[in-house]
Amino acid sequence: MKRIIVVLFLGLNFLNVFAQKTSKELSVYGGGGLAAFAFQPLVKKSLSIGYGGDVGVGIVGLFGDHWGIYTGTGIGIFNVTNNIKNILVKNEQIDCEGYPFEWHTTLNEYKENHKSIYFNIPLMLYFQTKMNSSLLWKKNRSVGFYAMAGPKLLFLLNNNYSSEFESLTNAAYYPEFDNWIHTESSLGFGVFNGNNASGKLSFDILAMLALETGIKYRISKTVYLSAGVYFDCGLHDYTKKSRISYSEYNSTEKLNEPKLIAFTNRIHLMMVGIKLRLSFMKFHTLECCPSK
């Protein structure tokens, strides 16, 4: 909460600086579309898909006819499910007697779901084609193009996750002896029945790169309607601190309270969809010199 207050304070002060000498465009918006996680590196036989959307308010400070700075605030949701068929992971280890071996883990039918509510603050560079002047808007063109790009911070207000899998198999291969160990359950080897779990991720901030572009239509002297598409891409893995390695699932006791599994190095949230905006323009006017 302290971080939200600090960001809001800095944002409001920044707005106060540029709002004094620019034309301002206030807007309300709503949008929605698809959401998914991108795995790095890619995981074979996997599928990640869901939905997301947000509503909010924004403000553009225009430094002329074309360029400006956009910011605002909004609240949104996303619901994404990951389906992973089979994963095989191996890593080199040394046993208690000093012999090197390869730990092989096979995860079958892994699935996890994330449901999140977030509060967002964007700060984006804004561009538009020249729109009509306020006095001659009926005589000039009333349709234009707009685009904006920049960072966006998502403050996760609530995140619920669930995970499950059918089975997990651990085995050890000793290359020195060309020998496999499959059945020593006391050492963590063998086939373990799956389980399911649910919980909440710790509060965190997700940084994203946000892009939006579309058509802007002037419906009156100071009112605009915009229709565009957006694409948001996460810059880091906000679930990483809540995941554990395969090697920790080495006994039935550990499987009784499963957590999210680190089945890939990084996971990035991506969202794409359609956004509608209703904007209200307030034009900046220069003060006249006082008469003598």
Q: What is the pLDDT of residue 1?
A: 46
Question: What CATH number is given for 2-282 in this structure?
Answer: 2.40.160.20
Q: What is the pLDDT of residue 276?
A: 97
The beta strand positions in the chain, using DSSP E, are 23-40, 46-62, 67-94, 100-128, 143-164, 167-174, 179-181, 190-193, 196-200, 205-218, 223-234, 243-244, 260-261, 266-282
Whole-model pTM: value is 0.80
| pLDDT, one tens digit for every residue, the chain (292 residues) | 455 445 555 555 555 545 455 678 899 999 999 999 999 888 888 899 999 999 999 999 888 778 999 999 999 999 999 998 887 777 788 888 888 888 888 888 889 999 999 999 999 999 998 765 544 445 555 788 999 999 999 998 988 999 888 888 888 888 888 888 877 766 677 888 877 888 888 777 899 999 999 999 888 878 899 999 999 999 999 888 888 876 676 666 666 666 788 888 899 999 999 999 999 987 654 433 444 3
End-to-end CA distance of the chain: 54
The owner of tokens 């790095």 is 40
